[in-house]
Amino acid sequence: MTHEAGIPLGIRFRLLSDSPQDSAAQVVNDVVVGDYRDLDTLRAFARGCDVITFDHEHVPAEHLRALEADGVPVRPGPDALVHAQDKGVMRARLDALGIPCPRHRIVSDPADVAAFAAEGDGFPVVLKTVRGGYDGKGVWVVRSAEEAAEPFKAGVAVLAEEKVDFVRELAANVVRSPHGQAVAYPVVESRQVDGVCDTVIAPAPGLDEELALRAEQMALTIAKELGVIGHLAVELFQTRDGRILVNELAMRPHNSGHWTMDGAVTSQFANHVRAVLDLPLGDPRPRAKWTVMANVLGGDYPDMYSAYLHCMARDPQLKIHMYGKDVKPGRKVGHVNTYGDDLDDVLERARHAAGYLRGTITE
Amino acid sequence: MTHEAGIPLGIRFRLLSDSPQDSAAQVVNDVVVGDYRDLDTLRAFARGCDVITFDHEHVPAEHLRALEADGVPVRPGPDALVHAQDKGVMRARLDALGIPCPRHRIVSDPADVAAFAAEGDGFPVVLKTVRGGYDGKGVWVVRSAEEAAEPFKAGVAVLAEEKVDFVRELAANVVRSPHGQAVAYPVVESRQVDGVCDTVIAPAPGLDEELALRAEQMALTIAKELGVIGHLAVELFQTRDGRILVNELAMRPHNSGHWTMDGAVTSQFANHVRAVLDLPLGDPRPRAKWTVMANVLGGDYPDMYSAYLHCMARDPQLKIHMYGKDVKPGRKVGHVNTYGDDLDDVLERARHAAGYLRGTITE
């Protein structure tokens, strides 16, 4: 999708991909297949690139520092990216900046988890490996010290966090350029099912204006203070008592910003490309009153063509974005966007299409 | 741009390209370089394609018939495409359908041109080679039999047409699928400079509703009767006396439909892809009150990056679409789209950006 956004500007992409079957490798015409964890591979790849950016945060920071030392701009740079790679580093930095987070600390073993629980409101406690988790992986909700053994088995530091009593999850998406220009997309509501993002509503319905502004300013502050270049998604909890707490950071175009492809004047991908090239950023405002994004998860419906027939015939305004991935149960294989003036209608259309493409709706 | 539209549906393109420097060859990852006039090349290319479509109309009809005989669907097919390849065939067919055209007939030599002039209102007369012309090439406006020698030198049949006293040029864009579903985009005004499209305004300002409807119906009729599959652009003259006459046909996504990329719910490219795959068509309605497309012609401004800096900073809502072509004077190398509620503002923004990208505006 970043490649799609670069085409109209005549920006040529070279892609480093795990495999030729990767989504991006199917549509980019200059693909190097290799391991992003190998510095020699990265160096060979980087030769001839004007600038390097990412669609995930897992490239080791020390390799990125080596590329920077070779003179290749890396955006976002490793000093920013580490906050999206390591939840311990992220929490420490946000604390220092006075950004509200769930109560948290690094814990050493199940007994320490019990101590952490006792310091607050008790169990349940959320445990996260500081590195490597996503979409609910690497995250555990434990109700006792006995349940807390598993996270420590990976040999990675474990972060304990209070289980926040939230009314909903929000996301504040911003983009920042090397010049220091930044734009904020409207704050969205993100609805999860089984720990995976199911639906995003832009803007977040009924969100107090002052709270929305605070969330946007929080994301802009994080982008600036951490030196983020490109897109930053700040996942937030809205608590029952009216606070906003930072859940996670992502430094790349993010699922909570996919609605912008059809719902905003400038998509998150276009603005990410512009930021990485230090071009002036595009207008982040919405084009419709409501835009809804619904993720398409892999089901057991391999016949995409007849699903397209149904979905396109039912809703001529539907925007489908499939990623060309092999369909595996539960995997995000695409998303749909709908927009309009009536939120109920827009939500129903998105959910129907996503469900039909997954195969869970078969009307 | 058709490839861009195919990506979100997971449609993989194989491209037959004249050269690896072609715009499309820079962004598609499965490129065969070869000559579209060579049947063996076409046959080898077509192996493994589910369906074939075009971004120009010049592939010889007999070769397309051979591919169809090999079992490869060709959309639009040669029987439709011949009407976009041969202006003589096109005029004869539109006459038979009762579609209003400028007065015309095939002429054999300069004396015959003089006779054609005398049959109507006299000179000037427009002469066109029936094949091979575009963007003002292959078209002559002659004021006497003496001026009429040039067109006959190419050894191609020559069509004479009255020089229409038009107030403006319009275009009716429609898309039709094998199922026979069709959608019509709003009729646009197309402004030419030196025979090349300069600006397109969607919808055509001040166009009488009845006239707009007649133009759309005319385009839908042509698409149906000629068996067009995919996008059809019908270029029209609006005459001083309130008639609408067909100027040219194009059977592919067309310059007069580029505004749809940012201005319509479904772009002409997305609908062309959907039609070629016999998928239900998308909503062709505009998303803004006014959308303006301005072509970027090649000038002597090779520094695209600093032009981007200016244009993007000046207008954060500007949509730039560059084609990655080598910049040659007068060549279409890209276009910009702007949209909004105030036509004067939307026009000024598009013209400024296109002029700046060309290098003719340097404020």
Q: A137 at the B interface (CB within 8 A)?
A: no
With CB atoms and an 8 Å threshold, state whether B8 touches A308.
no
Q: Residue A361: is its pLDDT beyond 90?
A: no
Say yes or no: B85 contacts chain A, CB-CB below 8 A.
Answer: no
Mean pLDDT of A44-54: 94
- Alpha-carbon separation of residue A264 from A235, A289, B321 (angstroms): 19, 10, 17
Residues of chain B above pLDDT 70, percent: 98
- Read off the tokens for A237: 């909890």
Three-state SS for chain A is CHHHHHHHHCCCCCEEECCCCCCHHHCCCCEEECCCCCHHHHHHHHCCCCCECCCCCCCCHHHHHHHHHCCCCECCCHHHHHHHHCHHHHHHHHHHHCCCCCCEEEECCHHHHHHHHHHCCCCCEEEEECCCCECCECEEEECCHHHHCHHHHHCCCEEEEECCCEEEEEEEEEEECCCCCEEECCCEEEEEECCEEEEEEECCCCCCHHHHHHHHHHHHHHHHHHCCCEEEEEEEEEECCCCEEEEEEECCCCHHHCCHHHHECCCHHHHHHHHHCCCCCCCCCECCCEEEEEEEECCCCCCHHHHHHHHHHHCCCCEEEECCCCCCCCCEEEEEEEEECCHHHHHHHHHHHHHHHHCCCCC
Domain boundary among A134, A162, A190: A162
Residues B236 and B190 in one domain: yes
For residue B316, what pLDDT is reported? 98
Q: A43: domain CATH number? A: 3.40.50.20
Whole-number pLDDT of residue B53? 97
- Cβ under 8 Å to A: B residues 332-351: 334
Give the pLDDT mean for A258-268.
98
The Cα–Cα gap between A212 and A234 comes to 13
Q: Residue B153 domain-assigned? A: yes
Q: Are residues B170 and B249 in the same domain?
A: yes
The answer on A342 and A221 residing in a single domain is: yes
Who's near A298: CB < 8 A, 6+ residues apart?
Answer: A325, A326, A327, A328, A329, A330, A331, A332, A333, A358
| CATH number assigned to the domain comprising residue A114 | 3.30.1490.20
Q: Give a yes or no: residue A91 inside a domain.
A: no
pLDDT at B25: 87
Is residue B14 in some structural domain?
Answer: no
ipTM of the complex as predicted: 0.93
Query: Greatest CA separation found in chain A?
Result: 58
Q: State which residues form the domain around B259.
A: 166-358
Most confidently modeled range among A149-158, A193-202, B287-296? B287-296
B251 within domain boundaries: yes
Same domain membership, residue A62 and residue A134: no
Mean pLDDT of A57-62: 93
A37 and A121 co-located in one domain: no
CB pairs under 8 A between A and B: 99
**Do B253 and B345 lie in a common domain?**
yes
- Residue B17 to chain A, least CA–CA distance (Å): 14
| Choice among A68-77, A89-98, A204-213, B353-362 with the minimum mean pLDDT | B353-362
Q: Does B324 touch chain A (CB under 8 A)?
A: yes
Q: Is residue B340 part of a domain?
A: yes
Out of A116, A131, A162, pick the residue that ends a domain.
Answer: A162
**Residue B2 forms part of a structural domain:** no
Give the SS3 label for residue B134.
strand
B32 touches chain A (CB under 8 A): no
CB contact under 8 A, A9 and B308: yes
Shared domain for A7 and A44, answered yes or no, is yes
Q: Residue B9: which of A10, A279, A322 has the nearest Cβ?
A: A322
Residue A95 lies in a domain: no
Q: Report pLDDT for B23.
A: 86
d(CA B206, CA B342): 14
Query: In chain A, what residues touch B308 (CB-CB under 8 Å)?
Result: 9, 279
Whether residue A265 lies within 8 A of chain B, CB to CB, comes out as: yes
Q: Is A12 on the interface with B (CB under 8 A)?
A: yes
**Do B134 and B172 sit in the same domain of this protein?**
no
**Any alpha helices (H) in B191-267, and if so which ranges?**
209-226, 260-263
Residue A252 sits in a domain whose CATH number is 3.30.470.20
- Please state the separation of Cα B28 from the chain's center in Å: 22
**How many Å lie between the alpha carbon of B25 and the closest alpha carbon of chain A?**
8
Residue with tokens 């396109």: A312
> According to the model, what pLDDT value does residue B267 have?
98
Mean pLDDT along residues A339-345: 98
| Amino acid, res. B132 | G
Interacting residues of A337 by C-beta distance below 8 A, sequence separation 6+: A258, A259, A261, A262, A263, A291, A292, A293, A318, A319, A321, A350
Closest CA to A276 of A251, A258, A259, A256: A251
* Distance to chain A for B324, nearest Cα, Å: 5
Residues of B in contact with A309 (CB under 8 A): 279-280
Closest CA to B8 of A254, A327, A256, A26: A26
Please check whether residue A363 lies inside any domain of the structure.
no
The Cα–Cα gap between B223 and B180 comes to 10
pLDDT of residue A294: 98
Within 8 A of A26 by CB-CB distance, chain B residues are 12, 29
Indicate yes or no: CB of B9 within 8 angstroms of CB of A308. yes
pLDDT of residue B324: 82
Chain B within 8 Å of A304 (Cβ-Cβ)?
A: yes
Structure tokens at A109: 């073993």
Within chain B, which residues score under 50 in pLDDT? none
Q: What size, in residues, is chain B? A: 363
Residue B322's pLDDT is what?
Answer: 93
Residue B217 touches partner A, C-beta closer than 8 Å: no
Question: Angle at Cα B232 formed by Cα B38 and Cα B159, nearest 5°?
Answer: 70
Is the same domain home to A130 and A232?
no
| pLDDT, position B136 | 64
Domain endpoint, select from A162, A184, A202: A162
Shortest Cα–Cα distance, A154 to chain B (Å) = 37
- pLDDT band per the 50, 70, 90 thresholds, residue A29: confident
Determine the pLDDT at residue A272: 98
The answer on pLDDT for A329 being more than 80 is: no
User: Looking at the 3D structure of chain B, how many domains does it have?
Assistant: 2
pLDDT per position as a tens digit, A167-194: 999 999 999 999 999 999 999 999 999 8
Q: Which two tokens stand for residue B285?
A: 């309605």
Distances (CA, A) of B55 to A67, B17, B35: 41, 10, 14
A155 and A190 part of one domain: no
Both A110 and A157 in one domain: the answer is: yes
Same-domain check for residues A232 and A293: yes
Look at A317 and B4 and tell me if their CB atoms are within 8 Å.
no
Residue type, A63: H
| A277: nearest CA partner in chain B | B305
SS3 B129: strand
Tell which residue, A188, A157, A152, has the closest CA to residue A173.
Answer: A188
Kindly state the average pLDDT of the residues A225-237.
98
Q: What is the pLDDT of residue A302?
A: 65
